[in-house]
Amino acid sequence: MIWAKGLPSSWDFETDIVVVGYGYAGGIASIEAKDHGADVLLLEKMSKPGGISICSGGGLRTAFDAESAFSYLKETCGGMTPDAVLRAMAQGMTELPAYMEELAKINEAEIKAIPSKGNYPFPGYEDLGFCIYGRIPGFDPLTYYPHVRGLRGGARNFKVVEDNVDRRGIKILLGAPVKRLLRTPDKRVVGVLAQKNDRLLYIKARRGVILTCGGFEADEELKRQFFQGSVIVSAAYRGNTGDGIRMAQEVGASLWHMGNFHGSYGLRHTDPHYPFGLRLRRLPDWVPGHPIPSRSEMAWIVIDRHGRRYMNEYPPYAHDVGHRPMQYYDTEIQSYPRIPSFIIFDEEGRKLYPVVMPTFNDSEVFFEWSEDNLAEVDLGILKKAESMKEMALDMKVEPRILRETIEQWNGFCQQGSDNDFGRPSETMVPIQIPPYYYAQVWPVVSNTHGGPVHNEHWQVLDAFGEPIPGLYEAGELGGIFGFLYLAGGNLAECYIGGWTAARHAAQNEPWKP
């Protein structure tokens, strides 16, 4: 691709607001921009919309009281996000249920409000909830979005967003990646350079550009530079390759939260062309100091390459922080002894449930996990051994150490207390009935939080904290969460950031060269 820097002498498209990326955030930003009187062009680089959003559970984190929500968010962000941004997010969380009710009128989607405390007992955690779209008449996620697998709520949520976008007649270009932001000599962003097939498109944005193009979980170089750990496997989507980060950097954006990501641990397919990690089954979250939910038995333990446990496999929000203990680097051996690790469970554990639910938004892959986990043994994803010694030798672990580890674990299960790492007793399942099942396990990133810094209007800021004129972001790109995540918070941020950025941009005076 060859292009001349600077503004073109003529434009291929002209509009008020260009939205870059069509997941939840891009859809909501487009809806709000249109409803506030702006012409909109929505661009998506992949052949189908939905992004990582469509793979989610679809539940948006809500709040009954903005001040309580602010208190909770302040703790989870660990001082890495300004109060003004967190207050805007908290206020938006109180407005989400009514907003969702309005969107649901498009297709009579059912709305479910679910009481749900925060993941940690920080101030304000009891005043939080979830809101999710339930049944939609005549809509089956598996047939309507056959390229998507995951929790059904994500697809229902996107269907509501998509129907609202379509009803407003918003112009959409799929398969049209944005390559550069275009700006004037006085640094105002006034358009984008996109590509459709082999053609470059110069697109004018009179009022602003909103970047809603996701994070960088599918970009290996950015992960190498910003994450600790030798291999961090992407969970579900190939489209999030840090495009918005690079474009925003080029026009002077500052970055935040680059080292924090939402993820867990999981397996890898034996097919080298399968692009995603296989996250282990999501079990119920629990709040420290409160009873563990029912049906929370975890079939497996995790051991390092020396054959020893090193973590609580079931922390309060395992699907967010389960990966963190794996990213330890041992300077004596100059290696990551926990990447990969191994999971182990026995015949009784195998019968509990499918240990993986494949998740993806991708037209080029398809994989379903068997109910009894045995098909994956045939595929070699899971391995089977008739004895602990056989398992240890295949793992290249000292058999004595592995036997001691499992015997100690079984003793903890019998006494109802994990004396080493504090795993909740309700989750503990012994490993004692052969055959034994095991597999290599890796850190898995579901989505990143890093990206351009933004203010309470979701305007992108430069290195000195000043807004870059005409440039906004929303959603996963430059998310607010700097330290600990709040379940459903990314999806809430897609909505809140999307509507905030769009409403602000729609008020801008149009650029007239």
pLDDT in tens, 473-482: 999 999 999 9
Instruction: Provide the token pair at 486.
Output: 């709040």
Q: What is the pLDDT of residue 6?
A: 82
Q: Is the pLDDT of residue 281 over 70?
A: yes
Residue 229 has pLDDT above 90, yes or no: no
- Residue 295 confidence (pLDDT) above 90: no
pLDDT value at position 2?
A: 53
Point out which residues pair with 447 in neighbouring strands.
262
Residue with tokens 């049906």: 295
Nearest C-alpha neighbor of 502 from the set 178, 254, 207, 62:
207
* Distance between CA atoms of residues 238 and 283, nearest Å: 25
Lookup: tokens for 349: 């554990």
pLDDT of residue 293: 87
Band of the pLDDT at 230, cuts 50, 70, 90? confident
pLDDT(146) > 70: yes
412: Cβ–Cβ under 8 A, 6 or more apart, which residues?
418, 419, 420, 428
Contact in structure between 297 and 352 (CB atoms under 8 Å):
yes
Cis omega (within 30 of 0) on the bond before 340?
yes
pLDDT for 99-131, tens place per residue? Answer: 999 999 999 999 999 889 999 999 999 999 999
Q: Where are the beta strands (DSSP E) in 162-230?
A: 171-174, 178-183, 189-196, 199-211
Nearest to 465 by CA among 318, 255, 296: 255
pLDDT in tens, 357-415: 999 999 999 999 999 999 999 999 999 999 999 999 999 999 999 999 999 999 999 99
Closest among 426, 266, 281, 435 to 348, alpha carbons compared: 435
Residue 3 pLDDT level (bands cut at 50, 70, 90):
low
- Residue 1 is predicted with a pLDDT of 52
How far apart are alpha carbons 16 and 9 in whole angstroms?
18
What is the average pLDDT across 454-464?
A: 98
Phi, psi dihedrals of residue 278, rounded to the nearest 5°: -110, 95
Q: What percent of the chain has pLDDT over 90?
A: 96
